């Protein structure tokens, strides 16, 4: 039987600094299960958006991304007040935006697509009580990872701040 007292819930605010120079704002929620060896497998969902993004000769407007993913976190020294961790996530991102070629900005089309979502990062939790922690993290995130250099592929440096509740 699964011990429900070992589940953690982590809402967070996230900020992605795209390699193209703009910012994506996001909110996320992860649910993980605490194992005795420091591993925390789980899953998560995020909503990320930005008003405008330039990518591969296109201008994209009204972008939003909803990744759904599996998450694996490893917590170093789990018995201390400050707990560093490493984590990775892989999943699918549901993407929607309006797109116009830079040479024809008046010809706008709507686009919906899915892509491979990835995240790899590090962070630290600070225990506020036995059941509540705050955390910060930094890592690399991509919403539609592809080997095609011409794909619309927002990615970059991601910062997050949130809380973990047991």
Q: What is the pLDDT of residues 136-165, one digit of tens each?
A: 999 999 998 887 777 778 889 999 999 999
Query: Please, which residues have CB within 8 angstroms of residue 37's CB and are 6 or more apart in sequence?
Result: none
What beta strand segments (E) does the chain contain?
Answer: 7-18, 23-33, 39-55, 58-75, 82-101, 109-127, 132-145, 155-165
Span 7-58, pLDDT tens digits = 999 999 999 998 877 899 999 999 999 998 889 999 999 999 999 888 878 8
Its pTM stands at 0.90
Top-tier CATH class for 4-165: mainly beta
């Amino acid at each position: 039987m699964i011990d429900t007292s070992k589940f953690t819930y982590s809402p967070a605010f996230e900020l992605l600094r795209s390699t193209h120079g703009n910012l994506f704002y996001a909110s996320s929620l992860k649910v993980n299960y605490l194992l005795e060896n420091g591993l925390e497998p789980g899953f998560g969902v995020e909503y990320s958006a930005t008003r405008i993004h330039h990518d591969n000769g296109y201008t994209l407007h009204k972008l939003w991304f909803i990744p759904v993913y599996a998450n694996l976190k490893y917590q170093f020294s789990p018995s201390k007040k400050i707990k560093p961790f490493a984590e990775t996530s892989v999943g699918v991102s549901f993407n929607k935006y309006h797109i116009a070629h830079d040479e024809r900005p008046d010809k706008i089309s709507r686009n919906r697509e899915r892509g491979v979502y990835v995240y790899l990062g590090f962070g630290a939790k600070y225990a506020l009580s036995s059941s509540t922690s705050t955390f910060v993290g930094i890592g690399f995130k991509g919403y539609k990872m592809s080997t095609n250099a011409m794909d619309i592929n927002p990615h970059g440096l991601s910062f997050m701040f949130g809380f973990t509740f047991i």
